[in-house]
Structure 1
Amino acid sequence: MSGYLTASWSDFSVSMVGASAALTGLLFVALSINIERILTSDALTARSLSTMILFVVPLVIGTLLLIPGQPRTALGVELVAAGIAAGACLLPVNRPASRGSLEPRYSWWLFRLLPSVTIALFLVLAGSSLIAGVGGGLYWVAPAAIEAFLAGLATVWVLLVEIRR
């Protein structure tokens, strides 16, 4: 499989879109179960929005990769734009002021700030290297998706379980 041939990434894209849809459903379950507690805290509301964005990013990326016959340069530009958009959405939501008093600083760094920066960076690298034809291409999409899923799952755990402690 090549990082520059989009057709060979279709199975990965389909699985990424399916996982994103399933995890978004899990987020809505968590939100609906604990909506009253979440709405009383600006920090939890921000975490919920951040998680929604984290799960939408792989959905968008997977969908872009599944567009048939799309030129490599066009996909590269779309991935760069998706990276910039992801960072522009995630960074304001995960700013230091949105950290709740009960959220440890290391948790905020690891599960909110770090993914906000690196997911955007991975997608910009994927798009840029796809356009250039060197540097890894679509292989940069995998860590972006994995990080989005893991960071989102950590917050879903908080919204489902930790919020009740």
Structure 2
Amino acid sequence: MKENQGAVYAYQIEYWTVFLSVTAGVAATLTGLIFVAISINLSRILEFPRLADRAAESILQILGPLIVSIWALVPGQPRLVIGIGMAVAGFVLWILQTLLQYRSFTREHPRPVISILLGQSSTLTFLIAGISLATETLGGLNQWLVPGVILSITAGVSNAWVLLVEILR
């Protein structure tokens, strides 16, 4: 029975409210800190043509978990609606992420591949988490939402580090 409990919890949003609440709080706090980091170095960031896009990308990375968490915490929504909302949010975030990464890519200053992959994979996990929740397939929230949150926060903080510290080197 215990082996199947993980699978059951993976599709029942009521078991995720604490995780989602904590995620929303952490993401909101980090979003504010990233805005402060950007404002501290704004003039320096604007000296480099593509860093403003990277700053926007950093904010989007942290907004991903915030948007998904808030959407999933709205009381009384059916699982299907929550899943569709997550999938749409993941898709929109992925499109915006891809556009920003494309615009900020230059041959003179290429970004590390790991940075690009981290950003791409973090947004796509929200899309898959939503599909998984809506269809009760693919492993559920524990397989996709948790890694998505971790990847998004890692990508956002990594980009913020570049904007706050690396830019001054």
Same fold per TM (> 0.5)? yes
Give the structure 2 partner of residue 94 of structure 1.
101
Q: How does 1:52-131 map to 2 (within 5 A)?
A: 52-95=59-102, 97-99=103-105, 103=109, 105=111, 107=112, 109-111=113-115, 113-131=116-134
Quote the sequence identity (%).
Answer: 35
Gaps in structure 2 of 5+ consecutive residues: 1-5
**TM superposition score normalised by structure 1:** 0.90
Q: Give the whole-Å Cα distance in 2 for the aligned partners of 1:129 and 1:160.
A: 36
Give the structure 2 partner of residue 23 of structure 1.
30
CA contact (8 A) 1:44 1:100 kept: no
Q: Give the whole-Å Cα distance in 1 for the aligned partners of 2:47 and 2:80.
A: 46
Q: Give the whole-Å Cα distance in 2 for the aligned partners of 1:135 and 1:7.
A: 19
1:46 aligns with 2:49: no
Instruction: After TM superposition, give the deviation of residue 120 of structure 1 in Å.
Output: 3.1
Give the structure 1 partner of residue 41 of structure 2.
34
Q: Give the whole-Å Cα distance in 2 for the aligned partners of 1:115 and 1:75.
A: 25
Instruction: After TM superposition, give the deviation of residue 124 of structure 1 in Å.
Output: 2.1
Q: CA RMSD in A?
A: 1.7
Number of equivalent positions: 161
Q: Residue 149 of structure 2: which of 142, 145, 151 is its match?
A: 145
Moved over 2 A (4+): 99-105
Q: Give the whole-Å Cα distance in 1 for the aligned partners of 2:135 and 2:35.
A: 39
Q: Deviations over 1:48-95 (max 9, x none)?
A: 000011011111011012111210111111111011101111001001
Q: Deviations over 1:115-134 (max 9, x none)?
A: 34222321222111212212
